[in-house]
Amino acid sequence: MKYIDPHVHMSSRTTDDYEAMSKAGIVAIIEPAFWLGQPRTEAGSFKDYYSSIVGWEPFRASQFGIKHYCTIGLNSKEANNVPLAEQVMDLLPLYALKDNVVAIGEIGYDDQTEAEDRFFRAQIELAKEVNLPILIHTPHRDKKRGTLKSMDVLEEHGIDPAMVVIDHNNEETAKSVLDRGYWTAFTIYPRTKMGSERMVEVVKKYGSERIIVDSSADWGVSDPLSVPKTAQLMLDSGISKEDVHMTCYQNALTIYSKSGNMKESDWADGVEYDQSVLYGGNSVLRGQDPKKTDKDIVEN
C-alpha cells in the first residue's frame, strides 16, 4: 500500500527518516509550519524557516523519492508575542502562494488567549483571500473547549467545514468534529495524544469518512512511521483495506488537493530524482555515491 503522512515536521528529522519512510510506502508528506521548541525572537527567523519548508525540504525529500508539501502559518504558541506576530503576519502572504503550499496552518489555540484568538482570526481571513484549506491545531490543555471554540470561530468567519482539517483529535473530540462536517485528523504518538491501538478503535467506531491519520513527528519522542504502522495494525485488526486506504492516503489527498497544488500525478509514477543534483551548492549524501532514477522505473 501507499501512504501519505499529512502532518510531519521533517525539518527536525534526519535523512535516515526519509529513507525509512520511502521504504515503508510513504509517497507524499505535508510539513505544517510550527514552532521550534523555543521561542523565535526575530521575524527573520520565521522568514528563513518558511523559506526552508518551501525550498530545502522539498529538495531533501525528493532525493528519497518522496513528494513534499507544506502549510504556512503562525503557530498559536507564538502568537502571544504580539509585536513579533504582527511582523510575521506581514510575511505570510509572501509564502502562502508558493507552489508546494497546500493550506494555511497549523493555526488555532494553545492557551486560548486573546492574542491567539486575534491572530487565528487574521489567518482564517488570509486563507479565504488565497482560497486555501485550513489546518487547525487543537490545544493540548483543555482540548475539548478549545476544539469547540475553534469550530465556532471558523463558522463565524463563514468557512466551509469541507475546507478545514482539525488535527490532534482524541476520543473526547472526535464525534463533535465529525458531526460538524470537518476533516478529523489524529496524531499518532508513541505514548501521548493518540496511540495506534486507540486509532484502530476510533475507525471501528466511526468508519473512515473524513478521518485522517498522521504522525506529527518532530524533534520530540515521535515516530515518522506512525502512519504505515497504524495502517498495518488496522489491517491486522480486521479493518478493511479500503478503510485503511481512506484514512492513511485518500482523505488527505482529497482535502489538500483543494489547494490546487497537490496532485496524485505528482507521485503516481514515482518521484523523479537525481542525487547528483545540488540545492544551493548542498547535497544530502555526505560522500555517498549518488543514485539516479526516473518516473519510468521508480516504485514505492
What Cα–Cα distance (Å) separates residue 71 from each residue in 51, 97, 114, 203, 262?
12, 10, 24, 26, 12
What Cα–Cα distance (Å) separates residue 296 from each residue in 224, 269, 274?
27, 7, 14
Q: Is residue 290 part of a domain?
A: no
pLDDT at 281: 65
CB atoms within 10 A of CB 111: 15
pLDDT at 189: 78
Cβ–Cβ < 8 Å for 232, 25: no
pLDDT at 221: 85
Task: Give the pLDDT means over successive 10-residue stretches in the chain (300 positions).
Answer: 97 94 97 92 96 95 94 95 97 96 97 97 98 95 95 98 97 97 92 81 97 93 94 97 98 98 92 71 69 49
Q: Is residue 128 part of a domain?
A: yes
Number of domain units in the chain: 1
Q: How long a stretch of residues is the chain?
A: 300
Q: Is residue 81 part of a domain?
A: yes
User: Number of C-alpha atoms within 13 angstroms, CB side, residue 14?
Assistant: 8
Whole-structure pTM value? 0.92
Q: CATH number for the domain including 241? A: 3.20.20.140
Range of the domain at 23: 3-261
Q: 134-137 and 292-293: which strand pairing?
A: unpaired
Q: What is the dihedral of CA 41, 15, 299, 102, to 10 degrees?
A: 0
Q: Is residue 57 part of a domain?
A: yes
Cβ–Cβ < 8 Å for 165, 135: yes
